[in-house]
Amino acid sequence: MTRRIGICTGGGDAPGLNAVIRAFVKCSLKEYDWEVVGIEDAFNGLLDEPRRLMVLDGPSCQGLLHRGGTILGTTNRGDPFGWPSKGGPVDRSQDLADAVREEGLEGIVCIGGDGSQAIALRLMNERGIPMIGVPKTIDNDLSATDYTFGFLSAVEVARDALDRLHTTAESHDRVMFLEVMGRDTGHIALSAGIAGGADIILVPEIPYDPNRLAAKIQQRKALGRPFTLVVVAEGAYPMGMASVAPKERKAEIAASGGAGPLAMTLLRGLVDAEMRCTVLGHIQRGGSPIAFDRILATRFGVGAARLVAEGRWGQMVRLRDNHIEGVALKEAVARQRSVDVNGELVGTARATGIEFGG
Amino acid sequence: MTRRIGICTGGGDAPGLNAVIRAFVKCSLKEYDWEVVGIEDAFNGLLDEPRRLMVLDGPSCQGLLHRGGTILGTTNRGDPFGWPSKGGPVDRSQDLADAVREEGLEGIVCIGGDGSQAIALRLMNERGIPMIGVPKTIDNDLSATDYTFGFLSAVEVARDALDRLHTTAESHDRVMFLEVMGRDTGHIALSAGIAGGADIILVPEIPYDPNRLAAKIQQRKALGRPFTLVVVAEGAYPMGMASVAPKERKAEIAASGGAGPLAMTLLRGLVDAEMRCTVLGHIQRGGSPIAFDRILATRFGVGAARLVAEGRWGQMVRLRDNHIEGVALKEAVARQRSVDVNGELVGTARATGIEFGG
Amino acid sequence: MTRRIGICTGGGDAPGLNAVIRAFVKCSLKEYDWEVVGIEDAFNGLLDEPRRLMVLDGPSCQGLLHRGGTILGTTNRGDPFGWPSKGGPVDRSQDLADAVREEGLEGIVCIGGDGSQAIALRLMNERGIPMIGVPKTIDNDLSATDYTFGFLSAVEVARDALDRLHTTAESHDRVMFLEVMGRDTGHIALSAGIAGGADIILVPEIPYDPNRLAAKIQQRKALGRPFTLVVVAEGAYPMGMASVAPKERKAEIAASGGAGPLAMTLLRGLVDAEMRCTVLGHIQRGGSPIAFDRILATRFGVGAARLVAEGRWGQMVRLRDNHIEGVALKEAVARQRSVDVNGELVGTARATGIEFGG
Amino acid sequence: MTRRIGICTGGGDAPGLNAVIRAFVKCSLKEYDWEVVGIEDAFNGLLDEPRRLMVLDGPSCQGLLHRGGTILGTTNRGDPFGWPSKGGPVDRSQDLADAVREEGLEGIVCIGGDGSQAIALRLMNERGIPMIGVPKTIDNDLSATDYTFGFLSAVEVARDALDRLHTTAESHDRVMFLEVMGRDTGHIALSAGIAGGADIILVPEIPYDPNRLAAKIQQRKALGRPFTLVVVAEGAYPMGMASVAPKERKAEIAASGGAGPLAMTLLRGLVDAEMRCTVLGHIQRGGSPIAFDRILATRFGVGAARLVAEGRWGQMVRLRDNHIEGVALKEAVARQRSVDVNGELVGTARATGIEFGG
């Protein structure tokens, strides 16, 4: 009897999800002769009535390599341990285990971020559903893997936006702000800022002093460069908010219209220059992945199949020092990787004159 | 004695400004042996002390074809007829005429929008400064010319954003809004929407009924397409605001956070779907122009040189039915071109299922 | 009874074919409630056994707007009037007429170049098959329409290649040749050359004198610009070949390795510089169309549906002075549009210093 | 007295050269207050009369981050140990050492491939010129560093070409060949092939059996996919040539018109399909670097400055396991990294169905 393996995608979308699915299906068919069953909208496809599943064969993978998003659909809603219902969240994890058994699934490959992987780990530990993880976060902030797919595609989108803003900033002698993704960590802001020639980069890991930003802007003006490019991560905040608890801080930032507008407001009294802010938003998540991400996603998809073949349930595929390997899911979801404020990359940025405000 | 011709750029920047300057300089040198003098920041370079002028020769044009922005700088501030001063605006148009004479400029080629061209016309009529106009507006809403450079580059940026949002909308079953430029006219929204596969396009020329938008979203859901892409021009507004005066209407839109957020708010009670809005902002103005705009800008630059050579001061270069020709500046600034709500392009959009809400 | 309309694509592919199909289908369903039947591989799908046809409905149009190529397939082989068979070409045009009748097709919308439209016209005149034409040629050399879709997408690809070659040419002091499409006409070469900052453009309409090219290269060197970018249309040739008959000339060019290598060889004795040639090839035909072409293709698709609705069989849709209209197929296939060697565009190129060699 | 450091670029150009220069200059000025002297055209600028040198300050770095090529110029000619002269190569390495002393250069940062670094090493060992290396090869085949800048930009160009060819191949049922860079190693072909969805990848490390390629093409046809995409590295060759010495083999490949046309010719008798070959050529070398390469180049530039500051002459900067560090130049030039034919990346490609022909 053929083995049946489930696969699903959870959390926000990222360029490369479809490439992982494609590689997993292709490898499963070619090397192992498994049947792959796609579960729609994270685990929801197994809990909804009727179930929403699709057998993934060769033809269903055509054109997936370059296609953004996920053909399986994805969602942030529907934790099986806290399933939304009228009377409040209910635990439907046993329903899920029953569905897995009824569908004859040997286990599930779960492509998702730390939230999804934490759920996968509980489903394995508490309900005995075999799980393999594939890391996914556009923010590249999982300490378990050197890179996640989609991150560099997002950086490329932000870099392109900076290239464009640069000419406008220069022509109009303006201070241009670009707010990019990164609620908790500043990896996109840091990489895009270096790549796009930003003068100032604001990240959550380095609370900023508005006066230092103003000084940088004035210094550029004095050197005959009366324009400035500022990249702001969604979660960046001024030193004055450093003592506020994270949750409240995020609320304060949101109340200011976001981290970009907040920084612009704080600078308004300090510098005499026209200022504009662009919030890049969901454009960073979508579209066709760049080559690096297509390759990484393909390696992850094949790597996940290898883990299944070797029966290494409970592991997550990852990239470590240019090699693909397995790591315990438990370890994988444990720690978020922040921007290393004393690391080489921040040091490189500072050495080329980029100001962090702190 | 060599003839000296001035050139300046006014108003917001647009991809192709540098290509116009380059073509004008190259043609002036090669075919006419004129000296071209760049005036910085619109007319301001002639009014500031010291004057800010730069002789433009061959080497100064290297690399300009593909470069966004304008090497001359540009500004929206500094009308010579209402020059900002402590005691209120003063008329410095005679100072400008004196500066033109002192610098030995035979006339000025002014690349700018309707505001800049209106000033150029007054300078010619009231102060005798010979002027040639080159039309510039990213909104493509000058009735005098079929196309302005920069417009299709902006459409391409918006189209790319729509392609990206499409995959996210589809993966998450969301209604995604993209707000694009177009305070008074909806040309960018209309073209980008058709090119990017939008389901709904909102333009200032067609006040929208939120109920019709909700019906479209529901209809798509019923057809198994539970996501929708909406392009919103900056100046789009609901039917309920149709009787409000334009100026107040713009204030109301701004108070709602912009046309995109306003539309999203109005829909919130009417449809049950996650909704997100991205405001594309200044990214549309910057960056390297696409081939079409580089060619058009080059034709405008050479065309402006031809008008100077023929002594046709007081004219503006334009594209009409694929030909470059001159038209009286007076006529050129007279009329804004709106989206033809009964025209073929809107009809084409409707025929492919696009909803305008009115 | 529902009307059934056939649609097919013939000749080389071009970005935008799928967008035409999509718009025709969407408009047919929404406004007219027709059934649209796609015929595979030009007319072949009606002549092969079994026939290869596909009903095109809403879902089959999903994702087509941005997709290059044609879902119907296309071919240059299979003229119904000279159908390839072992004993030599046979006339199968009556078989085609029979198949059209048997399938209940009221007529056929044929998207194709002058070759395909000439066949369509014969099928209508000699076999009574009602035909509507949609012009398609990447070379933009149909005099009946101002633009064909795909042309500007190809120009953009060639422009991008020139931007890339520019930096290498400059860094290495080289003469870089780029051969682009254009066997009979030089529109792509001319537009891409202007947009990409070429120093020399070679087109079939202007036989070139290698000595003039050498002089241009030397002149640039003398000005401190020891590198040169040359765009060569596939059909460009030196003055020495001007008296050779077109067919033999093409054979001679091919024997020299193509128009680019030929020009490089002719220059080798005349200039002392490293030279390299890149042949862009089929990359120009493929990929996602730019916004302009997506819009034009959509207008053509809707325009074709309008012609069908009005019963204007025997006409071809076209763009004339920014308007979509119908024109008799007979007139449409009559004349090829060459580059106007005394026209404004060539004049613009010359005025900015571009050398044509003649 | 200020320290003066020289910098030069040698060998073929690669996207990111200017970004290295910019980062080195910015870091030198900001953190160390050195004077940086650019040497034109590799070491030639120090040997030519008059010398061709340029002091690189802040303004000379403006706009360099995104600009392809190298502002210093580069060349493959002019080994100081075998300087071309009428009477045959002469050793001018002492002249170079004298020039370095006369110009007051403390040492030279040499950005170049294995050839340039080997020369740098000899100049240091035999003539006492202090040298710091920065690795540069678009082929990514230096074993000393995990990545070289420019490689992934070239892969992106090839990936884009594959995306474009895909639609044409599919529409026309063709076998499309794309020849990419890689005379000795197949890294670009391998990465671009995986990223671009190639069906067959031919690399120098795996001599191919044409019959296996034909079988793959037939197998696809049988599955209803009558088109095939083939990526060919410049140095790929059939098994039949495996016993030929490398130099003669390259001559044979060249005589066949290149590796792509050779493969096409060998397949012609074995498969019944239209075939086309595109040679991507220098387009891969030019243009603006992608974000990854801009960041890596910036890290290399700053890393080189760190090595100079620490007096670690004789070292080369490199990326190892995501960290920037120094490595002895001697070790750095010792070994070329080939594609690991039994490695994970080739295995990933095979697992997704890609055929290597061996």
The reported pLDDT for the residue numbered D82 is 94
DSSP-derived letter for residue A30 is: I
Whether residue B195 and residue C223 make contact (CB cut-off 8 A), yes or no, is: no
Asked whether residue D251 is assigned to any structural domain, the reply reads yes
Asked whether residue D273 is assigned to any structural domain, the reply reads yes
Q: Which of D139, D141, D199, D293 is the catalytic position?
A: D139
Whether residue A352 and residue D155 make contact (CB cut-off 8 A), yes or no, is: no
pLDDT in tens, C247-298: 999 999 999 999 999 999 999 989 999 999 999 999 999 899 999 999 999 9
pLDDT in tens, A105-157: 999 999 999 999 999 999 999 999 999 999 999 999 999 999 999 999 999 99
Cβ neighbour number for residue A318 with a 10 Å cutoff = 23
Residue from the list D164, D173, D279 with its beta carbon closest to the beta carbon of C279 = D279
Q: What angle do CA D231, D237, D242 make, to 5 degrees?
A: 150
CB-based contact B205:B339 (threshold 8 Å)? yes
Helix C187-195 crosses helix C151-172 at what angle (to 10 degrees)? 50
Distance CA D353, CA D358 (A): 13
3-state secondary structure of A339: coil
Q: How confident is the model at residue D77 (pLDDT cuts 50, 70, 90)?
A: confident
Which chain C residues in 277-316 lie under 8 Å from chain B, judged by CB atoms? Answer: 290-292, 294-295, 298-299, 301-303, 305
The reported pLDDT for the residue numbered D2 is 82
Same domain, A260 and A293: no
Same domain, C125 and C191: no
Question: Which one of A77, A168, A256 makes the best mutation probe of the B interface by having the most chain B beta carbons within 10 Å?
Answer: A168
**Which residue of chain A has the CA closest to B75?**
A172
Whether residue B164 and residue A157 make contact (CB cut-off 8 A), yes or no, is: yes
Tell me if chain D has a CB within 8 Å of the CB of C20.
Answer: no
Among C286, C316, C342, give the residue marking a domain's end: C286
Q: Give the tokens for residue D306.
A: 């760190």
Active-site annotation of C, residues: 139
Q: Which of A139, A141, A199, A293 is the catalytic position?
A: A139
Distance CA D307, CA D328 (A): 11
Query: For A250-271, what is the mean pLDDT?
Result: 95
Whether residue A171 and residue B13 make contact (CB cut-off 8 A), yes or no, is: yes
The reported pLDDT for the residue numbered A2 is 82
Question: Which one of C72, C171, C272 makes the best mutation probe of the D interface by having the most chain D beta carbons within 10 Å?
Answer: C171
Q: Enumerate the H helices of chain C as residue ranges.
A: 17-27, 44-47, 93-102, 114-127, 151-172, 187-195, 210-222, 246-255, 259-268, 291-309, 329-332, 344-351
Same domain, B29 and B119: yes
Which helix H or strand E contains D348, and what residues bound it? helix D344-351
Q: Give the tokens for residue D332.
A: 């750095």
Same domain, B145 and B294: yes
Distance CA D52, CA D58 (A): 20
Q: Give the tokens for residue B308.
A: 């100077």
The reported pLDDT for the residue numbered A234 is 97
Residue from the list C295, C303, C322 with its beta carbon closest to the beta carbon of B146 = C322
D165 vs C contacts (CB less than 8 Å): 282-283, 286
C36 pairs with which residues across the strands? C5, C56
Asked whether residue C13 is assigned to any structural domain, the reply reads yes
Asked whether residue D358 is assigned to any structural domain, the reply reads no
Whether residue C302 and residue B352 make contact (CB cut-off 8 A), yes or no, is: yes
Tell me if chain D has a CB within 8 Å of the CB of A57.
Answer: no
Whether residue A152 and residue D58 make contact (CB cut-off 8 A), yes or no, is: no
Same domain, A160 and A267: yes
pLDDT above 70: percentage of residues in chain A: 100
Backbone angles phi, psi at C142, to 5 degrees: -95, 120
Is B141 part of the annotated catalytic residue set?
no
3-state secondary structure of A163: helix
Whether residue C13 and residue D286 make contact (CB cut-off 8 A), yes or no, is: no
Same domain, B168 and B294: no
Asked whether residue B205 is assigned to any structural domain, the reply reads yes
Residue from the list A163, A192, A302 with its beta carbon closest to the beta carbon of D66 = A163
C108 pairs with which residues across the strands? C6, C131
**Which residue of chain A has the CA closest to B286?**
A164
Whether the link from the prior residue into C50 is cis, omega within 30° of 0, is yes
Whether residue A282 and residue B165 make contact (CB cut-off 8 A), yes or no, is: yes
Distance CA A238, CA A232 (A): 11
pLDDT in tens, A72-102: 999 888 899 999 888 999 999 999 999 999 9
Query: For A156-173, what is the mean pLDDT?
Result: 94
- Tell whether the torsion through CA atoms of A26, A30, A32 and A38 is positive or negative: positive
Tell me if chain A has a CB within 8 Å of the CB of B197.
Answer: no
Instruction: Name all contacts of A113-116 with Cβ < 8 Å and 24+ positions apart.
Output: A113/A10, A113/A11, A113/A12, A113/A137, A113/A142, A114/A142, A114/A333, A114/A336, A115/A10, A115/A11, A115/A76, A116/A10, A116/A11, A116/A42
- The identity of residue D100, as a single letter, is V
DSSP-derived letter for residue A280 is: -
The reported pLDDT for the residue numbered C78 is 80
Asked whether residue A125 is assigned to any structural domain, the reply reads yes
Whether residue D291 and residue A195 make contact (CB cut-off 8 A), yes or no, is: yes
Distance CA B61, CA B22 (A): 5
How buried is residue D350: exposed, middle or buried, by Cβ count under 10 Å (0-12/13-18/19+)? Answer: middle
Same domain, C319 and C259: no
Tell me if chain D has a CB within 8 Å of the CB of A255.
Answer: no
Residue from the list C157, C165, C277 with its beta carbon closest to the beta carbon of D286 = C165
How many domains does one find in chain B? Answer: 2
Whether residue B58 and residue C27 make contact (CB cut-off 8 A), yes or no, is: no
Tell me if chain A has a CB within 8 Å of the CB of D167.
Answer: no
Distance CA D264, CA D210 (A): 9
pLDDT in tens, C44-77: 999 999 999 999 999 999 999 999 999 999 988 8
B132 pairs with which residues across the strands? B109, B315
Tell me if chain B has a CB within 8 Å of the CB of C216.
Answer: no
**Which residue of chain A has the CA closest to D158?**
A291
The C-alpha of D197 sits at a distance from chain A's nearest C-alpha, in angstroms, of 7
A150: left (phi over 0), alpha (psi -120 to 50) or beta: left
Distance CA B26, CA B61 (A): 8
Q: Give the tokens for residue A156.
A: 């490329």
Give chain D's radius of gyration (CA, Å): 22
The reported pLDDT for the residue numbered B70 is 95
Tell me if chain C has a CB within 8 Å of the CB of B65.
Answer: yes
Tell me if chain C has a CB within 8 Å of the CB of D176.
Answer: yes
Query: For A330-354, what is the mean pLDDT?
Result: 94
List of chain B residues with pLDDT < 70: 1
Distance CA A101, CA A128 (A): 11
A31 vs D contacts (CB less than 8 Å): 351
Number of inter-chain CB pairs under 8 A, B vs C:
117
Whether residue D286 and residue C163 make contact (CB cut-off 8 A), yes or no, is: yes
Cβ neighbour number for residue C55 with a 10 Å cutoff = 11
Same domain, D44 and D193: no
Q: Closest Cα to residue B182, out of B162, B155, B210?
A: B155
Distance CA D156, CA D195 (A): 9
Query: For D193-200, what is the mean pLDDT?
Result: 98
- pLDDT of residue D196 exceeding 60: yes
Among C286, C308, C340, give the residue marking a domain's end: C286
- The identity of residue A317, as a single letter, is V
| Structure-token match 């002028």, residue found | B53
Asked whether residue C282 is assigned to any structural domain, the reply reads yes
Question: Which one of A170, A282, A284 makes the best mutation probe of the B interface by having the most chain B beta carbons within 10 Å?
Answer: A282
Distance CA C337, CA C352 (A): 24
Whether residue B69 and residue A173 make contact (CB cut-off 8 A), yes or no, is: no
Same domain, C274 and C190: yes
B164 vs A contacts (CB less than 8 Å): 68, 157, 282-283, 285-287
Residue from the list C172, C283, C286 with its beta carbon closest to the beta carbon of D13 = C172
Q: How confident is the model at residue D1 (pLDDT cuts 50, 70, 90)?
A: low
Asked whether residue D76 is assigned to any structural domain, the reply reads yes
| Structure-token match 């938003």, residue found | A281
The reported pLDDT for the residue numbered D22 is 98
Same domain, B259 and B297: no
Q: Closest Cα to residue C148, out of C302, C320, C304?
A: C320
Tell me if chain B has a CB within 8 Å of the CB of C58.
Answer: yes
Query: For C155-166, what is the mean pLDDT?
Result: 96
Give chain A's radius of gyration (CA, Å): 22
Structural domain for B322, as ranges:
4-149+289-332
Among D268, D286, D304, give the residue marking a domain's end: D286
Same domain, B26 and B134: yes
CB-based contact B21:B67 (threshold 8 Å)? no
Whether residue D302 and residue A348 make contact (CB cut-off 8 A), yes or no, is: yes
The reported pLDDT for the residue numbered A335 is 83
Q: Which range has the worst mean pLDDT, A289-303, B272-286, D175-189? A: B272-286
CB-based contact C11:C76 (threshold 8 Å)? yes
Tell me if chain C has a CB within 8 Å of the CB of D225.
Answer: no
pLDDT in tens, D270-320: 999 999 999 999 999 989 999 999 999 999 999 999 999 999 999 999 999
Residue from the list D30, D192, D323 with its beta carbon closest to the beta carbon of A353 = D30
Task: Label each residue of chain B as H, E or C.
Answer: CCCEEEEEECCCCCCCHHHHHHHHHHHHHHHHCCEEEEECCCCHHHHCCCCCEEEECCHHHCCCCCCCCCCCCCCCCCCHHHECCCCCCECCHHHHHHHHHHCCEEEEEEEECHHHHHHHHHHHHHHCCCEEEEECCCCCCECCCCCCCCHHHHHHHHHHHHHHHHHHHHHHCEEEEEEECCCCCCHHHHHHHHHCCCCEEECCCCCECHHHHHHHHHHHHHCCCCCEEEEEECCCCEHHHCCCCHHHHHHHHHHCCCHHHHHHHHHHCCCCCEEEEEECHHHHCCCCCCHHHHHHHHHHHHHHHHHHHCCCCCEEEEEECCEEEEEEHHHHCCCECCCCCCCHHHHHHHHCCCECCC
Whether residue D351 and residue A31 make contact (CB cut-off 8 A), yes or no, is: yes
Same domain, B209 and B271: yes
D65 vs A contacts (CB less than 8 Å): 195-197
Distance CA C188, CA C140 (A): 8
- CATH number of the domain at B215, please: 3.40.50.460
Q: Distances from the Cα of C32 to the Cαs of B80, B351, C9, C65, in angstroms? A: 58, 10, 22, 21
Q: Closest Cα to residue A336, out of A15, A27, A174, A117?
A: A117
Tell me if chain D has a CB within 8 Å of the CB of C173.
Answer: yes
Tell me if chain C has a CB within 8 Å of the CB of D332.
Answer: no
Contacts of D175 (CB under 8 A, 6+ apart): D169, D217, D227, D228, D230, D264, D267, D271, D273, D274, D275, D276
Backbone angles phi, psi at B331, to 5 degrees: -70, -35
The C-alpha of D259 sits at a distance from chain C's nearest C-alpha, in angstroms, of 15
- CATH number of the domain at D130, please: 3.40.50.450
The reported pLDDT for the residue numbered A1 is 52
Residue from the list C74, C164, C287 with its beta carbon closest to the beta carbon of D286 = C164
Torsion of CA C163, C167, C170, C171, to 10 degrees: -170
The C-alpha of A47 sits at a distance from chain D's nearest C-alpha, in angstroms, of 31
The reported pLDDT for the residue numbered C1 is 52
